[in-house]
Structure 1
Amino acid sequence: MTVQDIDRVSFAQEWQEWHRQKEAVLSGPHGFLAITGLHWLGPEPERFEDAPGAWSSTAEGVVVELAEGEELTVDGEPVRGRYDFGVVAERDSVYVGAGDAVIEVAKRGGQDIVRPRHPDNPLRTSFTRTPAYAPDPRWVVPGRFLPFPEPRPVTVGAAVEGLEHVYDSPGQVEFELAGVRHRLTAFNGRGPGALMALFTDETSGVTTYAANRSLQIAAPDAEGQVTLDFNRAGNLPCAYTDLATCPLPPAENRLPVAVEAGERIPLERGGQP
């Protein structure tokens, strides 16, 4: 598809809907902007101001001990006293109710965490929008998926200092910008066969968030062809809050070109409207 083939009105409308839906998830009552704490669990029970109970990480998994008058809601049922969550898998999350709040129980970088999400968190209630470049069809580029013979484990850093994530990479995506060929190491995306690439570029730390942006890529066709729409290069939660454990891009995913497309530095981080 060429730029001339694109209906610019429909293109802009579809981008606006993508951006609207992304913002709705981020700023929902229990979205990432509602998070009030990032609590790393240890072997000894510990209480936190923004969550009921005393929480610990044991060999059998996460445990909470609720005092008299404290209650959680798990799968729609009230829970009191001691509750065992069992072992939470890496990058999985379990969500339980606590009044109008939701408590996320998760594992990140091999460590158990608790992240309460309160709808009245000021970061959420004051949120308006995320600045972004105007959608432009010239940032929709064809590419080719280059699969590895076997998925490769790739270790990357995280927004939290000292934390690491390990992702299996199925291969790389090759594409051209301004006549120069580039490759991005890809991870698995949101659907069967879909891909996701974390990257930085020459706008990072200038007009876009310094640490990373994320690009979702639909599954390759039978010939391995893909489309990269950099208009949909989106911020991860760490662009808005320090209470996120987002992965950083692999070193080879630092593009030596200014990708002036997609989401920009959030207003909450000093971004410009």
Structure 2
Amino acid sequence: MALSQRYVTGWQEWHDNRIKDLNRPYGWLSVVSQDWLTEAEPFTSEFVPGQWLLRDEDIYYYPDEERTAHGDLLTVDGKEARTPIHIPHGYNSNSGTGSSVPLFYKDLEVETITRVNAQGEKIHAVRVRDPREAARKGFADIETFPLSEEWIVPATFLAAEIRSHDVPTVEDGIYETNFAIGSIGLRLNGRRFDLGVFGHRAGSLDTGYFSNSVYVHIGDLTNGRETYGGGRLIELDPERLDEITELDFNRAVSFPCSLSTFVACPVTPAGNRLPFRVTAGEYVPPVSFERVATYKG
């Protein structure tokens, strides 16, 4: 059965919105640094005056007195940081991740992030976003495989007990906490697959920001060639998982770590690696950068 015009129009609208979102001034294209903090060792960013200090898993910011006297300072939740201030962990509606309140230095957005290392210890970093970097790296489109009805595959969702676990990322030593919430059962190339479904909950109603991202992380033989090496994801509606009847590989997209070295995404789960080419969804985004290690722990 050929794809309907309604499907093609809907897919194109979804794709255009994704390109627009990726080009946001403070989106993933804007990240210019990610510096990990060491307990009790003050850190000064090359982009923001003042110092950051990690103490007993809490982060504090100490403004530069001379720069502050000239009005050159960080704002925390809209207020000028003229004296040392505690930076609360959490999430906010500006960046989606990081500090629970907005942090800005001039037009740079600053956030603190929390992850886990290989020893299961919490690690914390300061990340800076620059809208000028987003403008420099911006692109008009991401090439995709031709739309095909063959990659809209009948599927069912099987819920499981939600389990939190720390998964390795594309950067050695950094782990991210994810939630395994179930699996998607389907048949491809004559074989049965049960693909893990994962979730990431961010924020809280208390901070005025909350999101619940649910997705399938797939790997296939196009990875590292036509598509991003770390696999791709297909997002699902967290409110309608029980209603799933198909999985649309035409909506497979690259992870944020395909756009910047200053973000570490989870590696593809072993059970979600498909032993053939998935010729649907996005090619690797047209962004050139060198992936370098940011964590030395």
Same fold (TM over 0.5): yes
Q: Does the CA-based 8 Å contact 2:32-2:130 persist in structure 1?
A: yes
Q: Which residue of 1 aligns with 2:109?
A: 102
Work out which of the residue numbers 3, 8, 11 in structure 2 matches 1:12.
8
SS at match of 2:38: coil
Q: Which residue of 1 aligns with 2:47?
A: 50
CA offsets per residue over residues 57-87 of structure 1, 9 Å max, x none? 2115111111122422222222222110134
Instruction: Note the C-alpha offset of 1:135.
Output: 2.4
Over 3 Å counting, the alpha-carbon distance change for 1:26 and 1:194 in structure 2 is closer
Over 3 Å counting, the alpha-carbon distance change for 1:225 and 1:13 in structure 2 is closer
Q: Which residue of 1 aligns with 2:155?
A: 143
Matched, 1:93 2:98: yes
Q: Which residue of 1 aligns with 2:207?
A: none
Instruction: Note the C-alpha offset of 1:259.
Output: 0.9
Q: Does the CA-based 8 Å contact 1:62-1:88 persist in structure 2?
A: no
* Paired letter, 2:223: S
* Paired letter, 1:72: L
**Aligned ranges for residues 5-84 of structure 1 at < 5 Å?**
6-7=3-4, 9-43=5-39, 44-59=41-56, 61-68=58-65, 69=68, 70-84=72-86
Q: Does the CA-based 8 Å contact 1:192-1:219 persist in structure 2?
A: no
SS at match of 1:37: strand
Instruction: Note the C-alpha offset of 1:92.
Output: 4.5
CA offsets per residue over residues 6-31 of structure 1, 9 Å max, x none? 42x22222222212222222221111
Instruction: Note the C-alpha offset of 1:171.
Output: 1.2
Matched, 1:258 2:277: yes
Q: Does the CA-based 8 Å contact 1:71-1:98 persist in structure 2?
A: yes
Q: Does the CA-based 8 Å contact 2:89-2:98 persist in structure 1?
A: no
Cα distance between partner residues in 1 of 2:89 and 2:58: 4
Matched, 1:235 2:254: yes
Matched, 1:117 2:124: no
SS at match of 1:146: strand
Cα distance between partner residues in 2 of 1:255 and 1:205: 14
Q: Does the CA-based 8 Å contact 2:29-2:137 persist in structure 1?
A: no
Q: Does the CA-based 8 Å contact 1:141-1:227 persist in structure 2?
A: yes
SS at match of 1:11: helix
Q: Which residue of 1 aligns with 2:175?
A: 164
Over 3 Å counting, the alpha-carbon distance change for 1:217 and 1:39 in structure 2 is same
List gaps (5 residues or longer) in structure 1. none
Q: Does the CA-based 8 Å contact 1:101-1:116 persist in structure 2?
A: yes
SS at match of 2:33: coil
SS at match of 1:20: helix
Cα distance between partner residues in 2 of 1:189 and 1:119: 26
Instruction: Note the C-alpha offset of 1:263.
Output: 1.0
Q: Does the CA-based 8 Å contact 2:137-2:287 persist in structure 1?
A: no
* Paired letter, 2:123: Q
Over 3 Å counting, the alpha-carbon distance change for 1:125 and 1:183 in structure 2 is same
What fraction of aligned residue pairs are identical, expressed as a percent?
29
Q: Does the CA-based 8 Å contact 2:185-2:194 persist in structure 1?
A: yes
CA offsets per residue over residues 221-269 of structure 1, 9 Å max, x none? 6866442111111111111211112111211111112111111112224
SS at match of 1:120: helix
* Paired letter, 2:276: V
Cα distance between partner residues in 1 of 2:136 and 2:47: 17
